[in-house]
A = this chain, B = another copy of it.
Amino acid sequence: MSWTVAEHGFDISKVTTNGNKYMTGNGYMGYRGTLEEFTKEQLTAVTLAGLYDKSGEQWREPVNAPNGLFTKLSCNGQPLGVLEADPLSHCQELDFRNAVHRRETEYGFHGGKLTFTAERFVSMDQLHLLAGRLTLHSTADCRLYIETGIDGEVWDINGPHLTERKEQFKAGTALSTAITGELKLPVAVAERAAFTFDVQETAGEGTMRVISFDAKAGETYEWFKYVAVYTGLDNAGDPAAAAEQEVLTAEKAGYEELLKAHCAVWEERWSRCDCRIEGDEAAQFALRYSIYQLLIIAPAESEKVSIPARGLSGQVYKGAVFWDTEMFMLPFFLHSDPRIARNLMMYRIHTLDGARRKAAEYGFLGAFYAWESQDSGDDACTLFNVNDVFTGRPMRTYFRDKQVHISADVVHGIWQYVTFTGDDSLLVDGGAEVIWECARFFYSYAYYNPVKKRYEILDVTGPDEYHERVNNNAFTNALVKETLEIALRVVQLLQDKYPGHYPGLAALFADGPFMGEFNEMLEHFYVPQPDPENLVIEQFDRYFKLEEVALSELKSRVINKNEYWGGGSGLATTTTILKQADVVLMLNLFKASFSKEVKQANWEFYEPRTEHGSSLSPCIYALVAADIGSPDWGYPYFMRTATVDLTGESKQYVGDLYIGGTHPAANGGAWMAAVLGFAGVQFDGEVLRLNPALPGPWQSVELPVILRGGLFRLRISRNEVAVTAAADNREPLAISAFGGGCVLCLPGAKLRLLNSVAASEQERNGQGKFIREEKK
């Protein structure tokens, strides 16, 4: 099985998408999949998690650090780089098992061939460290020049963010320091280059040095680079001193040691989450690659950052955190690495005050989370998110002020965390406050309809952003209902389990609205229900009155390929065509509440009306297809989702706004489709249900999961599932497979559960059949 993405030959048209495809990172920083000689023109970026800056009147975005891995060659005075010299051969590859990036390029020069290799990684062991090994080999004697150091000219969308830049050499260490413009935070990058052969060194510009030497034919010349990045957010004292120290230590340890430590952490990470698909190599490859993309951006060590919508692949979407995290990425981490899931949720707790400010700004109570959240939780989203391609004018959109489901998504995420892990300490650590504030927000957002005698949620934008400012969006209302229910359950839970904490927490809300109001609202709350005739749930009030038009017909009306389909005058706005799963997403979230018939009716109704204009959409159709027992309907959606960052075939522009980058939500969605969908892994906090619906070629899915602190290895095939519980699990787990009854899986136990339908020739009992194998 391959764990390598590779590409032969250099194609300049792929520079941008390959920057995403070959990305490396470690949650502290992302390093785009660019080549050593690339500069900001090729969108080289070392994007820092959680460090934002605002330059002038432009929008805030993450800070990119100077690129300490920059290296440029020339041979006998002739520049050698893929942009200047047509290489004889070129290969770029990413080993995503170990998160190591490699390139090998062969250049011709008068009299010979020169082969350049570079290997690099962003250390998962030491989060501030990048390291590279580079080699040169020539078939003829020649004079080689290596320009290497720190490239301080960083790519910015709305920069510059680095002010007071200083570049210097200190005892062989290149040091680039700067201060961010808005928050005045220091950013320091240190670099050392270690040559294993004799060189002449002269100073280049700034933190560049020019190394030259006479290369002998047939010899291989190798050198190493060590780069450290620190900022004022790191609590590591002076960032410059810390960076300097770190590269010295790194050089002492040596590249091989560092790589080994890095790979060891990666091995541990994969051991928690690798998901094996038997029978479908393409799916296996794409799924692992998707998981890789999640692992390189996951904040393993910080609860102050979450995962931006474009990961750490640059500054697109302002480096902001969207609902994507809770709804599309969180499930992966909940099942594989609850520490990271906890960090993601703590980020929401730390940004509660920003959400409170936003609610107050709009005249509401409680917490209205940012649609685009950065460090403070204040909303980075503007009221004008898209430019009208016809007039060039900014277009008023209603992402910021009307996509209120974000607060319910946060609550959903926190409650999922508590449910999956059993770690209700998160509630005491701020989670309860978030939940209650979100419920209070919805209470103040809701209106009571005196004729229909019910509370409604008016004037919102649901996940389908092509239809703004709608009433009673089914998805939103269902999540608001869940928020109220969770708010009330948390009251109960804290009263029961944290009687010492509860009164103090509840006292904050003594003036209400609180329990009484939540109960009253819940009792009379409206959530759109399936039509009794055709079982379809109307996406929002009067959706069924919109123009019915085939997607192909709507596409034929497009005048400008970058025109926005939503907004006040968008092509889709007045039609039933939707951007992305909305009702179907709701059915997926609350799958236990709806019959198969309802799910199927809605899938069949909404699928042809869905443009999938968001990379978040197809995976949901895959999930629900699996849920209704039609995995082959879902398979194309799964593959489309799992390969989005491999093919680079996603929307690059909305209006005239560049939106390229990686797609963590799709990566998480691919995992959900494979594991929660096709493998049918469903955990509600009490029972693990395994109801696989594997696509044609899939023989089995095998993966480890952590549920309520216990580790279980699952092997799921059409007719049998095997569950192996770790010996040191503290609790047994109730398991039901193939719709059968529950069986307790004790620590250390290995269960095999058979599909009674498939096994019916052996035994007709109409129930899931199980065989318990006691631990040897």
The residues of A with any CB-CB pair to B shorter than 8 Å are: 363, 365, 383-384, 388, 390-391, 393, 395-396, 443-444, 446-451, 455-456, 458-459, 469, 471, 513, 517, 521, 541, 557, 559, 567-569, 571, 573-574
Question: Chain B residues near A456 (CB, 8 Å)?
Answer: 447
Contacts of A513 in B (CB 8 A): 450-451
Partner of A569 from B383, B395, B455 at Cβ < 8 Å: B395
Contacts of A471 in B (CB 8 A): 459
**A448 close to B451 (CB less than 8 A):** no
Question: Smallest distance from the beta carbon of A549 to chain B beta carbons, Å?
Answer: 13
Give A568 to B569 CA distance when docked, in angstroms.
Answer: 6
**A517 proximity list for chain B (CB < 8 A):** 450
Least Cβ–Cβ distance between A583 and chain B, in angstroms: 20
In the complex, residue of chain B having the shortest beta-carbon distance to the beta carbon of A512:
B451
A571 neighbours in B (Cβ, 8 Å):
393
Q: Closest B residue to A541 by CB, please name it.
A: B363
Closest to A392 in B: B559
User: Most chain-B Cβ atoms within 10 A of its Cβ — which of A388, A390, A513?
Assistant: A390
How many whole Å from A703's CB to the nearest CB in chain B? 46
Interface SS of A by simple majority: loop
Q: Which residue of B lies closest to A401 (CB)?
A: B542
Q: Are A443 and B447 in contact (CB under 8 A)?
A: no
Residue of B446, B541, B574 touching A396 (CB-CB under 8 A): B574
A574 touches B383 (CB 8 A): yes
Min CB distance A386 to B, Å, is: 10
Assess whether A447 is in contact with B448, with CB atoms less than 8 Å apart.
yes
| Cα–Cα distance between A395 and B567 once the two chains are bound (Å) | 11
Contact present for B459 and A450 (CB under 8 Å): no
- In the complex, are the beta carbons of A451 and B444 less than 8 A apart? yes
Q: How far is the CA of A458 from the CA of B383 in the complex (A)?
A: 21
* A449 contact set on B, CB distance < 8 A: 447-448
11 A-B residue pairings within 8 Å (CB atoms)? A395-B569, A396-B568, A444-B450, A447-B447, A447-B458, A450-B455, A450-B517, A450-B521, A451-B513, A568-B569, A569-B569
Most chain B beta-carbon neighbours within 10 Å: one of A451, A513, A521, A559 = A451
Which B residues lie within 8 Å of A569 (CB)? 388, 391, 393, 395-396, 567-569
In the assembled complex, the Cα of A573 lies from the Cα of B567 at a distance in Å of 13
| Residues from chain B with Cβ under 8 Å of A393 in the complex | 557, 569, 571
Q: Give, as a whole number of angstroms, the nearest-CB distance from A389 to chain B.
A: 10
Quick check: A451 and B443 within 8 Å, CB to CB? yes
User: Closest 9 CB pairs between A and B?
Assistant: A568-B568, A447-B447, A448-B448, A390-B390, A444-B451, A568-B569, A396-B574, A569-B569, A395-B569
Chain B's nearest CB lies how many Å from the CB of A334? 34
Cα–Cα, bound, A573→B446 (Å): 25
Q: Which residue of B lies closest to A568 (CB)?
A: B568
* Minimum C-beta distance from A400 to chain B (A): 12
Least Cβ–Cβ distance between A591 and chain B, in angstroms? 30
| Distance from A705 Cβ to chain B, minimum over Cβ atoms (Å) | 42
Residues on B with beta carbons closer than 8 Å to the beta carbon of A455: 450
Q: How far is the CB of A437 from chain B (nearest CB, A)?
A: 14
- A509 CB to closest chain B CB (Å) equals 13
A443 touches B450 (CB 8 A): yes
Interface contact B390-A573, CB-CB below 8 Å: no
Q: How far is the CB of A325 from chain B (nearest CB, A)?
A: 29
A513 vs B541: C-alpha distance in the bound complex, in angstroms? Answer: 23
Query: Chain B contacts of A450 at CB under 8 A?
Result: 443-444, 446-448, 455, 513, 517, 521
For A513, the closest partner residue in chain B by CB is B451
- Complex contact A396–B573 (CB within 8 A): yes
Other CB < 8 Å A-B pairs besides A390-B390, A450-B513, 16 of them? A365-B451, A384-B574, A393-B569, A393-B571, A396-B569, A396-B574, A443-B450, A444-B451, A446-B450, A447-B456, A450-B455, A450-B521, A458-B458, A458-B459, A469-B469, A568-B568
Closest beta carbon of chain B to A104's beta carbon, Å: 50
Chain B residues whose C-beta falls within 8 Å of the C-beta of A395 in the assembled complex: 569
A574 to B513, CA, bound (A): 33
Q: Which residue of B lies closest to A458 (CB)?
A: B458
Q: How far is the CA of A384 from the CA of B459 in the complex (A)?
A: 21
> Is B559 a contact partner of A391 (Cβ separation < 8 A)?
yes
Q: Which residues of B contact A521 (CB under 8 A)?
A: 450
User: With the chains together, A10 CA to B541 CA distance in Å?
Assistant: 57
Docked complex Cα distance between A517 and B449 (Å)? 13
Cα(A363)–Cα(B472), bound, Å: 14
- Cα of A458 to Cα of B458 in the assembled complex, Å: 9
A574 to B383, CA, bound (A): 10
